[in-house]
Every structure is written in C-alpha cells, then in structure tokens.
Structure 1
Amino acid sequence: MELKAGIIGCGSITKFRHAPEYKANPYVKHIVFYDRNPERAEALAAMFGGSVALSVDELLDDPTIDIISDCSSNEFHHIYSTKALLKGKHVLCEKPISLTIEDANKIIEAGKKSGKILMVDHNQRFTRAHQKAREIIERGELGRVLTFKTTFGHKGPEHWGINKTNSTWFFKKERSRFGVAGDLGIHKVDVIHYLLKDQIEQVSAFQGALDKVDENGLPIEVCDNIVCSLKTVQGRLGTASFSWTYYGEEDNSTIIYCEKGILKIYHGDEYQLQIIYNNGEIVNYQLESIQTNDHQTNSGVIDEFIDCVRFNKAPLVSGEDALASLKVILGIMEAAETNTVVMI
C-alpha cells in the first residue's frame, strides 16, 4: 500500500518531525504541503520533494490524499481535523487535541462517524524508555506505585518556532490558550496516564509569566512556568513542573517511587532508564536518547500512524486519550487561576 500524505501547517513541527518522518517511511509516496504563508509550504515542498496546495479545501478535497497531519496552531485543530476526518482522511493531530472539551469531542465524533483513524501526537508514549518503564511497573517488580514527580522544560518556543522571534503564536492567549502547560505539560500528563495506567483526577497549581516578554517587550499573556500537585484515581500523589525558562539545559525527566524502589526516566545522559532497588542494587538501561529541540531523532509517531492506517489498528494515542489529558490541563489552569483544588 502506497499512501499520499497532506500536511496542514508548515512550522517547525512539520519541518523537523512530520515531513522528514513521512519522507523516511517506505509506504509514503508523496507529501502535499499547505500553509497560509505559501512560501513556507513551497520551501518544505522543495526540501522534501513534495507539492503545494493553495488552500485547506484543495488539500482535503484531493481524493488521492489518504492521510493528513494537522500541524496547525492549537485554535484550528477542531476545524481542520474534523473536516479532514469527514472528508474521509485518516488524521494525525498535533497536541493538544483542542482548546476545549466541546471542540475535542467534535473531532472524536468525526472520527467515529467517518470510521477513519484519529491519532494524536503525544509522542512520549513512543520512547523506548517510557515503554520499558511501563512494562516494569505493569509486571509489579517494584510493587505498587506510591508517588511520582515529572518535569518538562526548555528555553522556550521562541527558540524553536519557525520565525525564531518573541512574536511566536505560543505566546498569544487566543492561539495557544494554555502557554507552557499546553505546550509541554500536556505531554507529561499523558505519559503519567500511560505509565501508571491511571488517570489524574485532582489538581492544584501555581503559574506565572516569570520571564518571557512578547515582541513589544511586555510580559507574555500566558504562563511560562507552572508547578502542580496531582492525585490520581488510584490514589497516587505527584508533582509536576513545566517551564519555558530552563535556560541551561532541557529537562524531560520523570521519577516513579514504588514500594520496592525507584524508576528514573531520562534523568541522566548516560542511562535513559534506571531502577534503584530498596536494597541498593542499581539496574541501568541504555536506550535511545529522548528528542530535544536541539537533537532531532525519529519519534516513531509517523511510523505508528502509517501502521495503524495500513493494518486498520487502534492507535497508541486515541482521541479519548488526548481528551483525558486535555481535561487535566484545563483543571490545572483553573486551579492556578482560582487558587483552588480542582476535581477533573
């Protein structure tokens, strides 16, 4: 089976992740790019040997296109992903699935109605260290999970975005809505759900725009830092920190504390996964290093999406999984804004 892919939005996520991974996949024969700035689409089409659509409708009405990556900014996902599914395309939607529960449900319902694959790009489920950690927890060799802490921070989207300036849409409330919580935090919420086979149900949080300024030199409209306390349905307690102001180096680590020891995930450079047993024994795993903004590697997301389409199998990250993580982020934002504990 040869597939033709369409990509909506030609920012950094397309340039560094989606397009090269489609290009490397043996089952993808061609990529069609659309961006509201046509020169961006043309640049990527030239880079990856693809072609250009001049409108979203042209892209979605093309009967030869089988699959769509929705790499638009957050506020458009519910429009483009819904439309693509109802046009009979399989869809890989960037995270967060949407900005509201109502709009996320529109996408999920469109997927059910169309019978097409809907997958959401929560890429941390695909790393070997997270998959191995989930296996270890599931086997119960460390006993019950009691507590956890997770963090995701880097120097900010203005260093990653396509135009490399403080005018990035990530800093605009009407477009990104959740700031660092929706950019980085939602990944870690999703990976906690995945690792623990559990869901966060109660949250409190503090947030602030501590350091970032926009193109006019004013503090940004969304949070650049947020720190949370979390409780899961099964009673596990945890903390989470998400930041756009980790200026020295990126941190993308998680530690799971169990009855019989500790799991450290992406906590050190040499070993991506460490088990420290309560008798002092240490087991180190050298797996692949995690993607960073400065070190791009194949995420496995596109390969998984293509496999789901080829074999008609359920994706590792469903619309419902993405909605569950979105609900937690909405709860975290409400908790931070109202200084209350919020039930999800």
Structure 2
Amino acid sequence: MSKLKVAVIGCGSIAKHRHIPEYALLPQVELVAFCDINEERARSYADQYGAKVYTDYRTLLAEVKPDAVSICLPNVLHAEASIAAANAGAHVLVEKPMAVTTAEADAMIQAAEANGVQLMVGHNQRLMPPHVKAKEILESGKLGKVLTFRTSFGHPGPEGWSIDGRESWFFRKPEAVMGAMGDLGVHKSDLIRWLLNDEVADVAAFVETRHKEGTDVDDNATCLLRMKSGAIGTLIASWTYYKGEDNSTVLWCENGVIKIGTHPEDQVIVELRDGSIEKHKVGGISTNQKQLTSGVIREFVEGILTGTPPRISGEEGKRSLNVILAAFESQETGKVISL
C-alpha cells in the first residue's frame, strides 16, 4: 500500500513539538513537503525527512498535491489555507481555533464537503488520558448529574513556547485576532462541551489584557457559562500564570465531585458523598514543559485511511469557537450572550 503523502504548512512550535514528530512515528505516512515563510525553518525539516521546501503554501499544494496537510499557521490564516488545501483535494488537520469567525468556519466546512475531504480540528484535550477517563466515569452515571464546574487553562504565555519568543505572531492582533482565548480558552470550551456531552447556552465574560506589555490581544479571560442542561460554571484562560501551568477541571455533581488534573500523580480523583474516594493514575496531560504525544495526528491519519469521519470535526470546532466568540461579544457589550 502506498503511503499517505503529508505536507506541513507552518513550521513553528506546534509543528515542531506535535505534528512533525507524531507523523514521523507513523509508518503509513510520508512527509513530502514543508512550508514556512522562514525558508530555513522549513528546510531543516525537509533535509531531515527528504522532503520539498516551500515558502508559499499555494505553490506547494499545486506542485506536490499532498493527500493531507497540517495547517499550523497564525489564526488569521487558518481558514484561507484550509479552504485552499480542500480545494486542492487534500484532507485537512487545522490547529485551533479553527478560524476567527463563524462565517470562516462555515466556509471551511463547506469546502471540505464540496471536495470530499476530511476536516479535523486539533482539539487535543479530548484525547488526553485523564479527560478520556473522566468522561468514562461521568458516563457511568455514578456521579449523577453535573451541577456546577470550573475549568481553567493557564501558563506564563506564548513567549516561552513560541519559536519566535516575544516577537511571536501570538502577540500581533492582525495575525492572532485573539490571544489567550484563542490559544487556551477554546481548548476548554471544547473540553467542557465534550465532557458534559452538552452545549453552551449562555456566556458572560471579562476578556482583558491585564499584564502583557506592547500587545492588544487578550492575556486573561474569566467566563461564566450556562449549559443547555442547566449546569453552570466558569471557564478561565490565562497567559499570566507565571508560577506554572494549570490545566484542571473540577465537576461538582449530585453524588460527589470529580477532579481532573489537580494532582501531579492522581490525574483523576473521584470523591463520592458516601465517603469513598477513587484515584486514577492514567497518564498525564501534556504541558509546554512536558510534551506528551497528543494522539491528534494518529486519529487524523487513521480516519483518512479507514474513511471514518473525524470525531473532532469542523462542526465540532465551530461550536467550540462560537463559545469563545460569544465571550468577546459579552466583553464588548457588557451583556450575557445566548448561543
């Protein structure tokens, strides 16, 4: 069987730490082209994998005709690159947030459908073992209904993560459009929707630039969410957790509480009202300091090879994006936004 020909468009940190090494682990994949506006960056990977180098993704799509692409570009380019790739007949894995407007997300979904290709969004939190375990426990029914929750994602900011440090596109509003909310908040809106098997009904939010100098993208957000089921909770995204990363979720339920990512060894803790406590060591949640395999690439590739539609589809990505967009609207208007 011939290998799946994959091109990586954008060779920054997410490509370096996740996409490229995870494709390289899969024997059914051949990395055929790398694209970056910084040609040297693309060349270093092309030399390593015997692939072609491009600085313009349109030329790459026309000349290489890859079977699939990873789009690891600044947020504002996600839609146009995804649509171009779909129109070139390539399956698309796009980083989150999938787009910066609902209209863009719709156009991406339509392009994939029109061309008969898959569109998957890199919402990796659904695949992290503690989150998978927590969902299994919730679905068992032992905790009963989720009543309230908090979910947060914070770290010291992209300057320590991005390949360009403080000069990164993450801080430039025309390219990023959104800051901590696009980077971290959208992960948590996706996670809470998936964990609770529920949709967000209402959003009220403070989305602000609290501390990062010289940028007008948001570095902190605190959101109030009400789910369709009636569950209420908070979603927090922050680039100013200077004393370490937090990616934790606590769900208070009828019969007890489930804590995810609150303890270094016991990644999932269930405390029931009858006094019993369960602790699960199920593998960590990936952090910027400690990169663990995300599972996203494997899921994308297997979906293409088996013809299985992606679980983390464009439609799913759009619903998670809409929560974040509602938070910005709430900040601007001072109102509770209904979805």
TM-score normalised by the chain length of structure 1: 0.95
Residue 314 of structure 1 and its aligned partner are, at CA, apart by: 1.4
Spell out, residue by residue over 1:214-240, the C-alpha distance to the aligned partner (whole angstroms, 9 max, x if none).
Answer: 3xxxxx201111111100111110111
Q: Offset of 1:49 from its aligned partner?
A: 4.6
Q: State the alpha-carbon separation in 2 of the partners of residues 339 and 314 from structure 1.
A: 39
Shift of 1:54: 4.0
CA contact (8 A) 1:19 1:48 kept: no
Deviation of residue 47 (structure 1)?
A: 4.2
1:15 aligns with 2:5: no
Cα distance in 2 for partners of 1:207, 1:303 equals 34
Aligned CA-pair RMSD: 1.2
1:174 offset after TM fit, Å? 1.6
SS of residue paired to 1:229: strand
Distance 1:71 1:60 in 2: 15
Q: Give CA-to-partner distance per residue, 1:175-215, whole Å, 9 cap, x none.
A: 2122111110000000001001101110111122111113x
User: How far, CA to CA, are the matches of 1:47 and 1:336 in structure 2?
Assistant: 46
Partner of 2:69: 68
Aligned length: 338
Number of the residue aligned with 1:309: 304
AA partner of residue 181 (structure 1)? M
Contact 2:58 2:84 in 1 (8 A): no
Residues 42, 287 of structure 1: alpha-carbon distance in 2 compared, 3 angstrom cutoff? same
Long gaps (5+) in structure 1: 215-219
- Contact 1:122-1:190 within 8 A present in 2 as well: yes
- Are the counterparts in 1 of residues 133 and 282 from structure 2 also a CA contact under 8 Å? no
Decide whether the 8 Å contact of 2:303 with 2:310 is kept in 1: yes
Sequence identity percentage: 43
Within-5 A mapping of 1:1-344: 1=1, 2-62=3-63, 65-165=66-166, 167-214=167-214, 220-344=215-339
Q: Distance in 2 between matches of 1:98 and 1:42?
A: 27
Q: Which amino acid aligns with 2:60?
A: L
CA distance in 1, matches of 2:243, 2:269: 23
How far off is 1:4 after superposition?
1.2
Q: Distance in 2 between matches of 1:232 and 1:43?
A: 46
Give the aligned residue type for 1:18: H
Note the residue ranges of structure 2 that are not aligned, 5 or more in a row: none
Q: Does the 8 Å CA contact 2:65/2:90 hold for their aligned counterparts?
A: no
Deviation of the 1:89 alpha carbon: 0.4
TM superposition score normalised by structure 2 = 0.97
Letter of the 2:238 counterpart: S
1:97 and 1:302, CA in 2 relative to 1: closer, same or farther beyond 3 A? same
Query: Which range is displaced more, 301-310 or 175-184?
Result: 175-184
Shift of 1:78: 0.9
